[in-house]
Structure 1
């Protein structure tokens, strides 16, 4: 199961992006017995899996992976090989992938492993850090959505306010001054004079406030 897991760790004063290139395989007793040296073959397989997870990454191809071995009561053996990469391109590529249920468990384990490697956190601390990082990510996403919504509202306000601020009713010379059309035109002109500029300026302010919220981390 080759995986590329994006991880963001807080290394003051910045958030540092990493990627864990990993592969986890579990071989049954029968499969292990089919090889001259089953454990060596399994280790070679997970090493190759790390390389295949990110074929273009020098870290995955050249760095010695850390290998974890888990023995199960049924005689099967699982090995996980992991490499920590700090290339921005790998982090960006890994961020666009969704994990299924099985992969999500391994992705969480990779995030904990990266936190332990970089921050010296034990499993509980790594989990808390992961939860804190997730909360920060969700908060940033919420701010971006709110900012885009404010930009939309501000744009609509400004788009409505600008023509209103430019509207200047002039009663035609042949239109009676006491007619309904003249009355409506004059009142519409007063309405636009009163609200046009405030609506325009308020829309611009709301738009730029939304822009700041959308781009601020």
Structure 2
């Protein structure tokens, strides 16, 4: 009986069992989520924070006992130019598109309707490209132009997956703002581990796609 108890304790506290591995991953994701939120506080750094988050989560997915704080900080310092450029493009396009839509929302003339449709189309295209641009920038060593070009091509070649991911994000956002309860619980989720968890899921979807491009120079 005592031997069985000892075996049970050893299996529970063995750092290589499945439960401990899952707990380790969760702790890493919570830590990364906090780092991401802190590094996003100056809005202009959101692009750098995204690349850092994608690269660190990629390591967490593939390895154990990842030094998340050190890796995140190192990536933040080394990728600040690339991240700043990507983040600036994303913020600029988003602000211009939403300003256009809000400014002309009461206008019914054909010209203004066309401008609103153009803004929707541009935002949709930008969202498609950015779904791949940040993970690509975190995985491969490429210039900004090459990252955007490859992201555009990959988004087009895998349009069904791209469209499905955008629909998932839209439905998820719609459900979060459905009621005051979902807003509260959604806010808690994103403050705790929401962003890092979604990136973990996103990389799981992209992994089979990116394996096709591992031959790219790094």
TM-score interval, smaller chain: under 0.3
Bigger Rg over Cα: 1
TM-score w.r.t. structure 1 length? 0.26
TM-score by length of 2: 0.26
Higher strand proportion, which one? 1
